[in-house]
Amino acid sequence: MLNPDTVRADFPLLGRTVRGGKPLVYLDSGATAQKPQQVIDAESAFYAQTNAAVHRGAHQIAEEATEAYESSRTVVAEFVGADVDEIVWTKNATEALNLVAYGFLNASLAAAAAPGSPAAEAVSPEARTRYALVPGDEIVVSEAEHHANLVPWQQLAAKTGATLRWIGVTAEGRLDPETYSVIGDRTRVLAITHASNVTGAITDVAALVSRARAVGAYVVLDACQTAAHMPVDLHALDVDFAAFSAHKMVGPTGVGALYGRRELLEDLPPFLTGGSMVEVVTMEATSFMPPPQRFEAGTQMVAQVVGFRAAVEYLRELGMEQVAAHEAAMTQLLLEGIAAVPGVRVLGPQDAADRLAVVAFEVDGVHPHDVGQVLDNAGVAVRVGHHCAQPIHRRLGVHASARASAGVYTTIADIEAFIEGLHEVVRFFATPETPTMQASTVESGKGRV
């Protein structure tokens, strides 16, 4: 069994104090995970010893930097059950999802252009055939999506004339199987989350992939919330594309990854163009490198990629089955503790089955920002707002929520401190003379959702 106290010692930030000397209780790992010293050291060592542009220089340092960059791709690919040439480096998961959506858009624009025109010839015939959308085609998402896996598809639908449809969410915060029927003969793309960043509910990917395959639709998976918290095998999941970010995986900010099936990346038009992704450039036209380099224009975030490798190696050493078991135990403690606090309601599944340690909640009569401020005063860090997921909040009948999310380093003591903080929230706002803090938090900038 994973020992969180031993793990915690690897994360220097978790040893600090806040708000006048209170020990930090970090329960915001769903937003971004803290970084172990191993990741910090890997980035620092790259800058100190190997810093150079990759795939460009003929000198030793450039060769070493390129080796570090590409070997990191191999390690990350193996971690998520992919082949090395199926992993594209991006700045984050949002860019990865946009890369796919804009690939469909570029193919659609080319297909709609006059045959033989420069606009039509800018995209290969194979790409136009595979990816072009026309009015009447359908894109299916869900009400549980993070905005990063919703807004790009809204934009794609608006620009191509395709219709956006969505899978509903149950009162418990899970995708509603009764609405899977929106996947139909005209569905071209199914874009779904692997797990909700609000309710923590894990999606039955197999059931949805089966429906998508039956109608020939592509499946795009947002794996941001799962990649650091449970074993993920993208080949076994049988999805076509998937996005995830290093910073949620105890890795650096500024780097994420797109997984794409090799044959699909071969035909996908590039999103960004420029240096590093070209083969031949003339004044009239340009030919592009094969994937994954085709999608990695410009100078890349090499140090962050190296840090990403260190993060994956760290998680692999812990063992993802052990990580999942530990976080399931923390989820159970969170749910039991919250249930014992009067006036507090969990948004989402009420038990730890088929869910992650991401627990959104509301306190009766108290604005989430005020909840967050009282907890912060006790040294407890949680997320407040709509968590970049307004539709699911609307479906669950709230504008915003507070959210506690655990990680590999979360301890029983962390959960106990959080629950005691929740009791303090209830006590504080039960006093008739207590003024609302909502106005002051909004004015100070903490009110942004």
> 158-173 in b/e burial notation, b at 16+ Cβ within 10 A?
eebebebbbbbbbebb
C-alpha angle 247-248-249 in degrees, rounded to nearest 5: 90
- Of the residues 45, 53, 182, 388, only one is catalytic, namely 388
Distance CA 20, CA 130 (A): 59
Instruction: Write the DSSP string, 15-67.
Output: G-EETTTEEPEE-BTTT-----HHHHHHHHHHHHHT---TTT--SHHHHHHHH
Distance CA 427, CA 377 (A): 14
Distance CA 324, CA 198 (A): 18
Residue 358, strand partner residues: 405
List CB contacts of 68: < 8 A, sequence separation 6 or more.
46, 50, 302, 305, 306, 309
How many other C-beta atoms lie within 10 A of the C-beta of residue 121?
14
What SS3 state is found at 99? Answer: helix
Task: Spell out where 181-264 has E strands.
Answer: 187-193, 218-222, 241-245, 256-260
Distance CA 309, CA 56 (A): 21
> φ, ψ for residue 145 (rounded to 5)?
-70, 145
Which tokens hold the place of 53? 């542009």
Residue 380, strand partner residues: 25
Per the omega criterion (within 30 degrees of 0), is the bond before 118 cis?
no
What angle in degrees, to the nearest 10, is found between the helix axes of 368-377 and 412-430? 120
Task: Give the CA diameter of the chain.
Answer: 74
Q: Provide the pairing of β-strand 358-363 with 401-405.
A: antiparallel
- Counting other chains too, the contacts that 317-320 makes at CB distance below 8 Å and 24 or more residues apart are 318/2, 318/7, 318/408, 319/2, 320/230, 320/231, 320/232
388 has catalytic annotation: yes
Catalytic residue ranges: 388
